[in-house]
């Protein structure tokens, strides 16, 4: 029989914990024990917001969540225009990845901060930082100015993401929390749908700078609504009655610095390796060694701090937490890699504009149907409690999609392009919607719910980062190396450096010379799609080893 989930007794904090009841046979490897969510009636009313204030707060949260999500996708179709304007196609990985680097690096810091400072202050402060970063991007005069603005916006995005989830866990009743998660998933889906189209349209018809300016008025309205309607709820002190500033000072700031070092050294090594520098270059070797040493130091430091650690190592000892983190990482690795490299296919191989390439992405984002799947899934989880099978089915679709996309050629028709993207979208929607539910359902105590949520969210964004860091970094290295090789093979008389700088350069060549260049692009891009096969396959392999009651 499925093991039930019960809620822990409420304490001073209005957060409710979801605690996984132990299976009577936890070591039996033959059976997948699917947890079931049960919400006791006596815990359905714990002073949460109701009525107009609740709707205002949730709307403000979801609007800002949408802005953060848009910043992940709106540049997918605008980047070719941006890099061409700045003559910096070789910096495409940085433009995309730096936002995710700072977002992931600071996410766990904000996870700690929300346990010390009221969620309202974290949310509003983070929104201000995000707006400043967006303004800097909009007024940037060179690619490095733009990258700096993206880094600042990423810090704010980290706080918005964690603060939004913390506020939702505080103000939304436990039995309605899956629906709140569905709303957040819906924002991600909406950003996936309108982001590439909006980015392409702005880049083609207005200016790519409006991809960032658009955040300013929307964020200001959300801030005003949250300032008025969002209550100031202090987090539980858990017996620690020292002043807030002392508890902030005792947060794991060393861990945050080490985390930034881990992510940054990995990105630089993967971005430069095989492209601007050979893999055996001392700089690349030094960066990768720094990554390894920083990782060891980070793990050791987290172990030393114990309960004060930024990353709760105790959670990593639980199989379900580990499984959710790895699956989230790999799912984002595939989805966001495709979000950035498919538009390069459409614009280079098919000759489409930025706007058209955004429309070309509609199959993958519409089939993701996170709005529908999240809402339907939240109702199913709320009524039945079963969620793991959605994750496994999503893995099948994602693995299949990666293999199919690899078979694309420059002659591939619209039907294949649409059909293969549908498999990707379905797999992503089924997988990502339920991972937070699975992680929260596995915690032992109420106080660990925010940490579990932050950890899985962190790995989702690390998946997004590593899509930009390793995914776009590895993908970029693979693409650049393959393109150099294939240009020498198919179009040896063309200037490779020019074609590496801008996809629009293809159309500057005589028509009879464009065919070999397009073939070189096609043969180079297909290898970036193959990353989805192991990502989907791993999800299936977690059935017995990880995604079970610990």
Kindly report the backbone phi and psi dihedral angles of residue 20, in degrees, each rounded to the nearest multiple of 5, phi listed first.
-85, 120
Residue 261 is classified by DSSP as H
Distance CA(438)–CA(389), nearest Å, equals 11
Q: For residue 63, how many other CB atoms are within 10 A of its CB? A: 17
Kindly report the backbone phi and psi dihedral angles of residue 24, in degrees, each rounded to the nearest multiple of 5, phi listed first.
-65, -20
Render 460-520 in DSSP notation, one character per residue. Answer: HHHHHHHIIIIIHHHHHHHHHHHHHHHHHHH-TTS-HHHHHH-GGGGGGS-HHHHHHHHHH
- Tens of pLDDT along 241-289? 677 777 788 788 888 888 888 877 876 777 677 666 788 889 889 999 9
Pick 515 or 128 by higher pLDDT. 128
Distance CA(23)–CA(1), nearest Å, equals 9
Pick 420 or 41 by higher pLDDT. 420
Distance CA(439)–CA(165), nearest Å, equals 14
Q: Tell me the domains of the chain and their CATH numbers.
A: 51-251+310-545 (1.20.1250.20)
Task: Say whether pLDDT at 517 is over 80.
Answer: yes
**Extended strands (E) in 354-489:** none
Q: Among 299, 284, 244, 313, which residue's Cα sits nearest to residue 473?
A: 284
Q: Among 88, 143, 83, 79, which residue's Cα sits nearest to residue 354?
A: 79
Specify the residue for token string 């403000």: 60
Distance CA(549)–CA(1), nearest Å, equals 13
Residue 39's pLDDT is 47
- Tens of pLDDT along 420-458? 888 887 787 777 767 766 766 666 655 556 666 667 777
> What is the arithmetic mean of pLDDT over 495-516?
77
Write the Ramachandran bin of 492: left for phi over 0, alpha for psi from -120 to 50, otherwise beta. alpha
> What is the arithmetic mean of pLDDT over 298-324?
77
Pick 208 or 440 by higher pLDDT. 208
Distance CA(216)–CA(153), nearest Å, equals 12
Specify the residue for token string 């700089």: 283
CA end-to-end distance (rounded Å), the chain: 16
Q: Among 152, 142, 141, 176, which residue's Cα sits nearest to residue 58?
A: 176
The angle that helices 472-490 and 511-529 make with each other, rounded to 10 degrees, is 150
Specify the residue for token string 């433009």: 95
- Tens of pLDDT along 95-106? 877 887 788 778
The tokens for 176 are 């309605």
């Amino acid at each position: 029989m499925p093991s039930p989930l019960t809620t822990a007794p409420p304490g001073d904090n209005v957060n409710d914990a979801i605690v996984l009841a132990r299976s009577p046979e936890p070591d039996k490897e033959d059976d997948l024990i699917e947890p079931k969510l049960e919400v006791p009636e006596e815990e359905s009313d714990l002073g949460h917001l109701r009525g107009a204030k609740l709707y205002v707060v949730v709307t403000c949260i979801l609007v800002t969540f949408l802005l953060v999500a848009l910043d992940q996708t709106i540049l997918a179709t605008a980047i070719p225009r941006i890099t061409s304007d700045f003559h910096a196609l070789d910096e495409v990985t940085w433009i995309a990845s730096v936002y995710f680097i700072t977002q992931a690096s600071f996410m766990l810091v904000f996870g700690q901060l929300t346990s010390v400072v009221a969620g309202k202050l974290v949310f509003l402060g983070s929104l201000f930082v995000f707006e400043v970063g967006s303004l800097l991007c909009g007024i940037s005069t060179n690619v490095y100015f733009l990258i700096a603005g993206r880094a600042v916006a990423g810090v704010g995005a980290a706080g918005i993401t964690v603060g939004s989830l913390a506020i939702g866990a505080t103000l939304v009743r436990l039995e309605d929390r899956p629906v709140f998660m569905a709303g957040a998933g819906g924002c991600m889906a909406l950003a996936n749908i309108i982001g590439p189209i909006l980015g392409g349209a702005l880049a083609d018809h207005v200016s790519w700078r409006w991809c960032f300016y658009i955040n300013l008025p929307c964020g200001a309205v959300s801030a005003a609504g949250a300032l008025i309607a969002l209550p100031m709820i202090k987090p539980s002190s858990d017996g620690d009655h020292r002043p807030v500033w002392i508890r902030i000072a005792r947060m794991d700031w060393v861990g945050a610095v080490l985390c930034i070092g881990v992510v940054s050294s990995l990105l630089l090594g993967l971005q430069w390796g095989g492209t601007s520098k050979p893999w055996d270059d001392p700089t690349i070797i030094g960066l990768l060694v720094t990554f390894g040493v920083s990782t060891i130091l980070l793990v050791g430091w987290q172990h030393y701090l114990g309960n004060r650690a930024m990353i709760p190592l105790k959670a990593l000892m639980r199989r379900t937490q580990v499984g959710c983190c790895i699956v989230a990482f790999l799912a984002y690795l595939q989805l966001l890699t495709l979000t950035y490299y498919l538009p390069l296919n459409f614009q280079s191989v098919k000759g489409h504009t930025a706007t058209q390439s955004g429309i070309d992405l509609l199959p993958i984002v519409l089939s993701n149907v996170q709005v529908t799947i999240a809402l339907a899934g939240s109702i199913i989880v709320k009524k039945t409690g079963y969620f793991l099978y959605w994750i496994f089915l999503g893995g099948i679709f994602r693995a299949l999609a990666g293999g199919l996309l690899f078979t694309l050629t420059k002659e591939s028709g619209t039907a294949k392009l649409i059909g293969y993207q549908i498999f990707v979208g379905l797999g992503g929607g089924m997988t990502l919607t339920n991972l937070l539910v699975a992680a929260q359902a596995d915690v032992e105590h109420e106080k660990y719910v925010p940490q579990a949520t932050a950890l899985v969210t962190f790995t989702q964004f690390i998946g997004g980062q590593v899509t930009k860091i390793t995914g776009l970094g590895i993908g970029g290295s693979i693409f650049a190396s393959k393109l150099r090789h294939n240009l020498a093979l198919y179009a040896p008389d063309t200037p490779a450096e020019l074609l590496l700088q801008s996809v629009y350069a293809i159309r500057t060549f005589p028509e009879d010379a464009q065919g070999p260049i397009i073939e070189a692009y096609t043969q180079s891009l297909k290898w970036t799609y193959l990353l989805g096969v192991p990502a989907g396959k791993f999800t299936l392999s977690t059935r017995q080893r990880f995604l079970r009651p610990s």
